[in-house]
Structure 1
Amino acid sequence: MKPVTDIVSTVIKYLHRDDTLPLPQLRKLGLIYSSYRFIVSVFFMLMVYINARTDNSSLLPSFLQQTVLSFYVLLSLILLGLFYVVSKKMRRQLAFGLVLDVVILSLLLYTAGAPDLQLTMLYMVVVAASFMLLHSSQALIITLLAIIFVIYQQFFYAIANSMSLANLSDALLMSASFLAVGILSWSLSQRLVQLEKVAASHAREVERLNVINQEVITQMVNGVIVIDKQRIVLANLAAHQLLSMAHDPAAQDLSTAINNTQNDKRQALLHNFQQKLSKQHTQLLKACLSVASGQSRSFTYDLPAIANASVFGKLRVQITPLKDDSKLVILEDLRREHASAQQLKLASLGQLTASIAHEIRNPLAAISQASQLLMEDMAELDAKNAASDNQESSSSYLDMAGNHELYKMIFSQTKRVNRIIEDVLKLSRQQKANQQSIVLAEWLPVFLENYFKGHDVFLHVKTQLIISFDTHQLEQVLINLINNGLRHSSYAHPHAYVEIEVYCVDNDVIIDALDGGTGVKAEELQHLFNPFFTTDQKGTGLGLYLSQAFCEANQARLLYVPEHEKTCFRLIAPAVNSDIYV
């Protein structure tokens, strides 16, 4: 008995370990089977009355048949409505319905008064459905229940009425058929479950890859636009920023609008983006749409100047064909490429100038020291001459006094050359920008307090946006601009002052350094940021050049705005936004 017990326990464990359909699939199949039950019950009810009329019998179906069928129709309708409305404990509802099917079919067989093959075959559907919708242990119980009723109807009922064993083989064959159908249905259900799991796993993987792709596209420095059938279907944050499109707060959810519930919102935002693009960048949109399918094109696009901001630049546009006549448009900011080239140029220039500057400093230090010693000698001679009344020494002093101004000139010029060398060494020591997030509204007051306390430097901050910049290099840029402003403003007015205005235009943060000086002449504009160009005799001509190099190293721009009513140097840096949209 022990081996049989072990086999039975092993089978039970195996059946308990089986997988079942996921709830959405179970609900769908359950609704189909509940509808099938209701249709079959109504069909049975109609067929009983139709058969009674065709037999020309005045007798109605038996009371038991009417009661069973009425009860079956009513319960079938209740179970269908309950399964449709209530989504909890679906397997219990299905198990109750399947047991009901077996009981009703058995009662119908009993009321028929003789074995009915058609009714017996309906057991097959119940057995198959139980193995597909329920756990194997529950399905096995329902199958055994069906076998018991069939054997009773075809075997024991035959013995009780005619004492004939002729239907024994039919009953056993039918029972074996139930088990075979159950095993096949269970096998099919397990295959279906595995397929559902694989499909769900693939769907999750596709969704995960989609999220990763969305994140990668969103974080790209280059702008990405996808055009399908003359319609924009994707545009990332960089595309909005590079094209200076007005920021739409609702667009920050576009990157997550990847399911059907958010599809309408996504389409609306993309349509809004295309409309803005057609208004502000008509030339670019026409060029992208006019490229024939299957062809590639690359060109440079000049961004239109924006009023009050002087924001202008160039983009490299690369159009690549995709499948199904779609087009991939890549927007690359040439400022970054220019900044990289500038970094290479500064690096090579720095190596040369550093060696030259060190060689110049040695003789320069000797000249400076000699001029200081000569001035000290003049000071001693001045003291001796004041203490002596010798006419001869006085005439000698007067001869040498003329040289004192020459010595002072030599010393001042050596100091100027030394400042130039210091600036050149700063240029040669320039390292890669260590960019940090800077909240200008908090950083600028501290900066002015540290470097320009006591000077009339007025700060006006109109934005809370953040920029990414090397703090040391930003300090050097602003120190140069403010010192230049204070110096040139003092030439035109007795009261020197500088105003610093910070505001935002589209996706750029603007820092204006304003002063009341006479400004830059038109003929000097083209040389303004060249090295060693200066309009001030005391200047070295490297301040603006270094400031522009620092800005370009941080993907920002420094320019002079001649249209402004005051002398205006403008620093334009891209804003750092946490909003992400695709």
Structure 2
Amino acid sequence: MDADYTGQHWRSLYYFNIYRVLLGSGLLISVWEFKFTNFGSHHYTLFLYAGIAYVIFGLTSILLIKLRTPSFNWQLTIQVIGDIVILTAMLYASGGLQSGLGAILLVSLAAAGLISRGRLALFFASIATISLLLQETYSLLTVNFYSAQYSQAGLLSMAYFAVAWLAHRLAEHTLASEQLANERGIDLANMSQVNQLVIQDLQEGVLVVDKRGIIRQHNSYADKLLDLKPSLGKTKLLRLSDYAPDIADRLTSWQGDSGINSELSRLTHSNALVRIRFLPIQADFRNGVVIFLEDIGRIQAQLQQLKLAAVGRLTVNIAHEIRNPLSSINHAAELLEEEQQENHKDPRLIRIICDNTRRLNKIVQDVLQLNRCNISKPDIFEVKDFIKKFIEEFCDVEKIDRNVFIFHNPHNYLVSFDRDHLNQILWNLWRNAWRHCRKQADSVYIELSTTNGNNICLSIIDDGPGVDSQQVKEIFEPFFTTAAGGTGLGLYVARELCETNQSSLDYIEGSSGGHFRIIFSRVKHADR
């Protein structure tokens, strides 16, 4: 059936007809221009007409191939029989087998056998043999002094069948190879699909980058982290240096020294903290590399859920086992203090008890607050106005001169954040800055700006001594404190609240004083 033949079969038949047109044109030119004696020596006019008919026949066949009508088998059969008839006529016009034109049919039979994948190959050889013998017999009867060369005709006929049989065997081998290639292609396609499903299901970003730095494959998580969508001004090729220049730089460094691996980096687009790992596709990593982006924020969020669950169970015990005894102790201490004041005794020891019970109660309240960190009600508001009002409120409550805080705010930005959470975070950072600064005018510098990825950056910088380099990694740990009477939960709670609102809180080393920075996603620009 014609449905068994693909576009490749039709293309092969098309190229075969181009060969037919070139062959006919070459024979015509050789007789018309160069006057070869062998071609057309017996009947010059018949040879010319046959050559012109051969060229026209080839052009007509090309047109029918374009139209795909009639079917492939019919077109191939008609074209091969046309070859046999026209070339036999040219053979007769050239004086028989001594002209050498009989060998041209070998090419036609071989091509027909390969194009048809072995079908009808022996049939075409039979027709060519019959045509050749009829031509010799007709020449013997009509041409004077013609000596029929049946022995050469027999040998040439054997060559026709040999070529047809070889074409048939080659076609069978080709079909087997194509079938094997199709099976392997299906297996590879299935394997590729399975690999794609596995990659898509990974809870980390995956990038497949070739040696030119082009991203050939990526999963949805990598798209989320890097926003791998070509813009109108860019080509469809995703170049790693365009979407993640920091990762591209790290890849270049890793190619120079493969021992450098598994580094932390904060992505510009999503502000996500990721661990980057490189894995070469082959022994020579310059041929391509797989990049894994492990989202540390997601891992921290999972750890946070575990911590919150543990803290939730802890707070229940604290509420029942600690707060009630503390209330009793504090109430008894206050009664003792009143009694000692009436008896004019020094209440210093009682005040120590009251101060420590209040401190313990503060720790309980901070721990209870941890259990509510994962509850966020984000609101979109202008952060510049929020900070200005917060500075006024903070200075009024803490009885601090407002000139201590200098707020640099050239622009206004919209952010999405829980107002109560942001108020608690800023209160903690402002109090830390006030505690460690020199308590002079402009001691605390506050600035609103944007990062390279157009995220909002809030910096709180004081002129104090800063955090000791050996303690930087510990300041966000729970219950770590350097202040007398501190609970060590302020910065820990502040970072947890930032992460709950898809933001980050970090301490920036290298500044002359203490420098904390909050980065939160920007909704849109509101330039004032």
1:39 corresponds to 2:23: yes
Specify the alignment match of 1:65 in structure 2.
47
CA spacing shift, 1:410–1:364, aligned 2, 3 Å: farther
1:418 corresponds to 2:394: no
CA spacing shift, 1:460–1:19, aligned 2, 3 Å: same
CA spacing shift, 1:171–1:475, aligned 2, 3 Å: farther
Specify the alignment match of 2:379 in structure 1.
444
Q: Do 1:460 and 1:500's aligned partners in 2 also have CA atoms closer than 8 Å?
A: no
How much has 1:481 moved relative to structure 2? 0.8
Superposed counterparts of 1:182-197, under 5 Å? 182-197=164-179
User: What SS class does the counterpart of residue 505 from structure 1 fall into?
Assistant: coil
1:336 corresponds to 2:296: yes
TM-score relative to the length of structure 2: 0.58
How much has 1:323 moved relative to structure 2? 3.7
Q: Do 1:559 and 1:571's aligned partners in 2 also have CA atoms closer than 8 Å?
A: yes
CA distance, structure 1, for counterparts of residue 104 and residue 188 of structure 2: 42
User: What SS class does the counterpart of residue 379 from structure 2 fall into?
Assistant: helix
Q: Do 1:128 and 1:181's aligned partners in 2 also have CA atoms closer than 8 Å?
A: yes
1:125 corresponds to 2:69: no
User: What SS class does the counterpart of residue 366 from structure 1 fall into?
Assistant: helix
Q: Do 2:457 and 2:518's aligned partners in 1 also have CA atoms closer than 8 Å?
A: yes
Choose which of 83, 88, 96 in structure 2 pairs with 1:106.
88
1:543 corresponds to 2:502: no
Q: Spell out, residue by residue over 1:83-111, the C-alpha distance to the aligned partner (whole angstroms, 9 max, x if none).
A: 89x48559466555333212212323444
Specify the alignment match of 1:390 in structure 2.
none
Specify the alignment match of 1:362 in structure 2.
321
Specify the alignment match of 1:451 in structure 2.
none
Q: Do 1:485 and 1:513's aligned partners in 2 also have CA atoms closer than 8 Å?
A: no
CA distance, structure 1, for counterparts of residue 346 and residue 324 of structure 2: 20
Superposed counterparts of 1:90-169, under 5 Å? 91=72, 95-111=77-93, 118-134=100-116, 142=124, 145-154=127-136
Specify the alignment match of 2:517 in structure 1.
570
Tell me which amino acid in the other structure corresponds to 2:366.
D
CA distance, structure 2, for counterparts of residue 503 and residue 209 of structure 1: 45
CA distance, structure 2, for counterparts of residue 118 and residue 54 of structure 1: 9
Specify the alignment match of 1:23 in structure 2.
7
1:326 corresponds to 2:286: yes
How much has 1:558 moved relative to structure 2? 1.4
Tell me which amino acid in the other structure corresponds to 2:328.
Q
User: What SS class does the counterpart of residue 296 from structure 2 fall into?
Assistant: helix
CA distance, structure 2, for counterparts of residue 74 and residue 444 of structure 1: 80
Q: Spell out, residue by residue over 1:243-290, the C-alpha distance to the aligned partner (whole angstroms, 9 max, x if none).
A: x99999559988x74xxxxxxxx6xx467689x669x96xx6775465
Choose which of 465, 480, 499 in structure 2 pairs with 1:522.
465
User: What SS class does the counterpart of residue 522 from structure 1 fall into?
Assistant: coil
1:399 corresponds to 2:358: no
CA spacing shift, 1:409–1:445, aligned 2, 3 Å: farther
CA distance, structure 1, for counterparts of residue 478 and residue 318 of structure 2: 20
Q: Spell out, residue by residue over 1:312-367, the C-alpha distance to the aligned partner (whole angstroms, 9 max, x if none).
A: 999777797954573877878899399769959x969969x977994896365234
Choose which of 480, 487, 495 in structure 1 pairs with 2:424.
480
Superposed counterparts of 1:175-574, under 5 Å? 178=160, 181-199=163-181, 202=184, 221=204, 232=213, 249-250=230-231, 257=237, 269=239, 287-288=253-254, 290-291=256-257, 296-298=258-260, 322-324=282-284, 326=286, 336=296, 343=303, 358=317, 362=321, 364-369=323-328, 371-372=330-331, 399=342, 414=357, 416-424=359-367, 443-445=378-380, 461=413, 478=422, 480-484=424-428, 505-506=452-453, 509-510=455-456, 512=458, 521-523=464-466, 529=476, 531-532=478-479, 540-548=487-495, 557-560=504-507, 570-572=517-519
How much has 1:188 moved relative to structure 2? 1.9
Tell me which amino acid in the other structure corresponds to 1:326.
R
How much has 1:31 moved relative to structure 2? 1.4
CA distance, structure 2, for counterparts of residue 52 and residue 533 of structure 1: 105
Gaps of 5+ in 1: 1-15, 258-265, 380-395, 449-453, 465-470, 493-498, 576-582
How much has 1:547 moved relative to structure 2? 3.3
Q: Do 1:147 and 1:175's aligned partners in 2 also have CA atoms closer than 8 Å?
A: yes
Specify the alignment match of 1:387 in structure 2.
none
CA spacing shift, 1:445–1:513, aligned 2, 3 Å: farther
TM-score relative to the length of structure 1: 0.54
CA distance, structure 2, for counterparts of residue 486 and residue 523 of structure 1: 14
CA distance, structure 2, for counterparts of residue 135 and residue 419 of structure 1: 89
CA distance, structure 2, for counterparts of residue 334 and residue 555 of structure 1: 17
Gaps of 5+ in 2: 384-388, 394-408, 440-445, 523-528
Q: Do 2:251 and 2:278's aligned partners in 1 also have CA atoms closer than 8 Å?
A: no
CA spacing shift, 1:398–1:193, aligned 2, 3 Å: closer
Q: Do 2:478 and 2:488's aligned partners in 1 also have CA atoms closer than 8 Å?
A: yes
Tell me which amino acid in the other structure corresponds to 1:368.
S
CA distance, structure 2, for counterparts of residue 430 and residue 40 of structure 1: 90
Q: Which has the higher contact order (CA 8 A, sep 6+)?
A: 1
CA distance, structure 2, for counterparts of residue 341 and residue 538 of structure 1: 30
Q: Spell out, residue by residue over 1:203-254, the C-alpha distance to the aligned partner (whole angstroms, 9 max, x if none).
A: 67667767887898897847879785xx75669889xx9xx99999559988
Q: Do 1:462 and 1:504's aligned partners in 2 also have CA atoms closer than 8 Å?
A: no
CA distance, structure 2, for counterparts of residue 167 and residue 64 of structure 1: 22
Tell me which amino acid in the other structure corresponds to 2:90.
L
CA spacing shift, 1:79–1:510, aligned 2, 3 Å: same
CA spacing shift, 1:126–1:335, aligned 2, 3 Å: closer
CA RMSD of aligned residues (A): 7.0
How much has 1:545 moved relative to structure 2? 1.5
CA distance, structure 2, for counterparts of residue 54 and residue 222 of structure 1: 75
Q: Spell out, residue by residue over 1:123-144, the C-alpha distance to the aligned partner (whole angstroms, 9 max, x if none).
A: 3433332232247777677556
Tell me which amino acid in the other structure corresponds to 2:489.
L
CA spacing shift, 1:123–1:302, aligned 2, 3 Å: closer
CA spacing shift, 1:297–1:191, aligned 2, 3 Å: same
CA distance, structure 2, for counterparts of residue 129 and residue 534 of structure 1: 88
How much has 1:119 moved relative to structure 2? 4.1
Q: Do 1:480 and 1:544's aligned partners in 2 also have CA atoms closer than 8 Å?
A: no
